[in-house]
Amino acid sequence: MTEAAPVVQSVLETRFPGVVTPDERKGYEGYIVTKEKLVELATALRDEMGYDFLSSVTAVDYLSEEETNLEVVYHLYKSTGGGSLVLSVQLPRDNPVVDSLVSVYPGADFQEREAYDLMGIRFDKHPDLRRILMWEGFEGHPLRKDWKEAYHNEDTKPFSNRWPDGQIFRSEDKNPYGKNNIYPVGFDPTKWEATEESLLYAGLGKAVGEKGNIETDYLVVNMGPQHPSTHGVFRMAVVLDGETIIALKPVVGYLHRNHEKIGERNTYLHNMPFTDRLDYISSLSNNFGYALAVEKLMGKKGAPSERAEYIRVIMAELTRISNHVWAIGFLLNDLGAFFTPALYAIEERELILDIFEATTGSRMMCNYFRFGGVARDFPEGVLQKIRDLVFERLPRKIDDIDAYLTDNEIVLTRTQGVGILTPEDAIAYSATGPMLRASGVPYDIRRADPYGIYDRFDFDVAVRYHGDCYDRFIIRLDEIRQSIRILEQALDQIPEGSVISGSNPYQVRVPAGESYGRVEGPKGELGFYIVSNGKPHPWRYHVRAPSFINLTAMEKMCIGQKIADVVVILGSIDIVLGETDR
């Protein structure tokens, strides 16, 4: 919450009496809004008070003996920087309907679909309210607390059959395939026809109708789910007029594993290695976000030690570099420069991964952050290796990549002016990270709402102004250079001392309340929304995944472009399906 909170509060209370009440539950800092006036309030907040950026929309199921409410939670920010404004709307369980915010913040589109899919909240006037991560033949809304999955063992971990009389079995032996599925009433999987497909195409149909002077037929092309350029199992249904894109819908969820449900069964500590598997290219930055969210709830007890803060920054910036070189390499792959640039990029990334491996024990699944610090100090020699890279090799190699690619005429013609996203659209669609900054919005959480010790470092927020694929490519080089600057300072200043405050217990005490921890991940704003009720497991654990939300603007960027450019535009967003589908 910002210093401006009292001002906002008085404005809200005078302008909307009876609509907005401060949330008085212990550990909560937002406002409870009556659902009838939500859209009006949001419009006023956006247009008059500067809260133009909707970071996250999610829902919480407060099912307990006393309570049955569902709650929709909105996190609003100003694109000029500052803290959050949290709004929640309480809805009855038997009829959870609320007006959609898509008309005010188009970036709410996918997030509301997700809340509908997983929590069963219906958003009135949403343009295309369908399931997004699960399929149509799926029974129930899995994030509801009364929903149990097929291989259900126990509500929370640790499971009691593992110890002290551990009897080993595999879940599939107890519950063989075929018996592990529940279908909606009257649903027969053998007679299933892809109804969701017709819904998908109906969603695309809205574009059909405005014909030019030549009578042409529209063509629907499905790119993916298996496609060399979709960066994983990801599909785009595209409507074409000739070669020009008229409408496009991303179809996601092929890699969905309900990370959030798993997270609500886990203890706080258990979740750390699971966050590695979100954006598996940059696991340390995922660790960072999650640790921040939990530490916020823990208060003073969670404050990391001084050396740990520096190690965190060093690791997070190395992660950013390795992610960005990878993104650049594979963007070039998408352009058809098959694997030479990618391998030059991977060469640098390998050296960074060597450092991760030597320190954390794993190249990609680092599981390195703990509440109040990090798991272990740098082993001997590693700090020197990082110095060698940062002061010597990386600047040289980044210049190399720059010389190799930035003036290349093929790159220029394929990317300049392609997939333009205006700054207004970028903010409205909740785009974050390099995508937002390449559109001319200098918004970087490290500067706008600093976390950790980022306020101590001198660096520039990289920003480019054309909002096209070329700028989204070049801004990653800019960001690498800024990361190197931060690293140089951090390496010079890193103090000696312990890498964790406290004793690193395996059961952490997290007081009741809600918290939203967000970091500037390499791909954009990565947020963790956690509701604790004081038990060893988070009551609600939500991930605001930048890869997922950045895709909301995909259609906007593609309309009017040629089909061959779709691949480049997608590559320039830089998504990872582990995070998109969660």
Partner 1 sequence: MYGKGIIKGMGVTLKHFVQTYVEDIKWFGRRYYKPEGIAHRSSKDAKGIFTVQYPEEKLPMPEEFRFIPFLIYDVLEDGTHKDRCTSCGICVKVCPPQCIWIEQTTNPDTGRPVPEPVEFYIDIDICMNCGYCAEYCPFDAIKMDHDYELASYERQFDHIFNKERLSKPAEYYATVRPVNNQLEEAVRAEKAAKKAEREAAKAAKAAEKDAGGESDNGS
Q: Judged by CB under 8 A, does residue 361 bind partner 1?
A: yes
In whole angstroms, the minimum distance from the beta carbon of 283 to partner 1 comes to 11
Q: Does 563 bind partner 1 (CB under 8 A)?
A: no
| Binder among 88, 360, 432, 439 for partner 1 (CB under 8 A) | 360
Q: Using the rule CB under 8 A, is 163 a contact of partner 1? A: yes
Round to whole Å and give the CA distance between 139 and 534.
31
Residue window 486-525: x/- pattern of binding to partner 1, with contact defined by CB under 8 A? ------------------x-x-------------------
Count Cβ atoms below 10 Å from residue 250 Cβ, excluding itself: 23
Using rule CB under 8 A, residue 270 touches partner 1: yes
Helices (H), 77-124: 108-119
- Residue 313 or 394 having the CB closest to partner 1: 394
Residue 313: phi and psi, rounded to 5, are -65, -45
How many residues bind partner 1, per CB under 8 A?
56
Span of 72-80, 137-145, 231-239, 353-361 interacting with partner 1 by CB under 8 A: 353-361
Q: Is 92 in the site for partner 1 (CB under 8 A)?
A: no
Among 84, 271, 285, 286, binds partner 1 (CB under 8 A): 271
Whether 526 and 544 have beta carbons less than 8 Å apart is answered as yes
What is the distance between the alpha carbons of residues 456 and 489, in angstroms, rounded to a whole number? 9
Q: Given candidates 150, 194, 219, 410, which one binds partner 1 under the rule CB under 8 A?
A: 410
Range 386-405, binding partner 1 (CB under 8 A)? 388-389, 392-393, 400, 403-405
Which CB sits closer to partner 1, 197 or 388? 388
Q: Is 88 in the site for partner 1 (CB under 8 A)?
A: no
551 with 566: CB under 8 angstroms? no
Q: In the bound complex, what is the minimum distance in angstroms from residue 171's beta carbon to partner 1?
A: 10
Residue list 180-199, contact with partner 1 (CB under 8 A): none
**By CB neighbour count within 10 A (0-12 exposed, 13-18 middle, 19+ buried), where does 505 fall?**
exposed
| Locus of tokens 């009838």 | 36
Strand 85-91 vs strand 31-33: parallel, antiparallel, or unpaired?
parallel
Distance separating alpha carbons of residues 107 and 549, to the nearest angstrom = 7
Segment interacting with partner 1 (CB under 8 A) among 48-56, 104-112, 152-160, 480-488: 152-160
Instruction: Pick between residue 95 and residue 167 the one whose CB is nearest to partner 1.
Output: 167
Q: How many CB atoms lie within 10 A of CB 29?
A: 17
State which of residues 155, 350, 424, 460 lies at the interface with partner 1 (CB under 8 A). Answer: 350
Rounded CA gap, 405 and 427, in Å? 29
273 contributes a contact to partner 1 by CB under 8 A: yes
Minimum CB distance to partner 1 smaller for 377 or for 525:
377
Q: Taking CB under 8 A as the rule, does residue 269 contact partner 1?
A: yes
Q: Which of 65, 94, 407, 458 binds partner 1 (CB under 8 A)?
A: 407
Q: Does 13 bind partner 1 (CB under 8 A)?
A: no
* Spatial CA neighbour of 273 closest among 406, 375, 414: 375
Token pair for 240: 């074409």
322 binds partner 1 (CB under 8 A): no
Instruction: Determine how β-strand 20-22 pairs with β-strand 524-532.
Output: unpaired
Q: 157: buried, middle or exposed (CB in 10 Å: 19+, 13-18, 0-12)?
A: middle
Our finding on whether 17 is near partner 1 (CB under 8 A) is no
Q: Count of alpha carbons within 13 Å of 515, Cβ hemisphere only?
A: 22
What is the distance between the alpha carbons of residues 187 and 137, in angstroms, rounded to a whole number?
Answer: 7
Identify whether the C-beta of residue 161 lies closer than 8 Å to the C-beta of residue 136.
no
Interface with partner 1 by CB under 8 A: which residues? 153, 157-159, 161-168, 170, 266, 269-274, 340, 344, 347, 350-351, 354, 357-362, 365, 367, 375-376, 379-380, 385, 388-389, 392-393, 400, 403-412, 504, 506
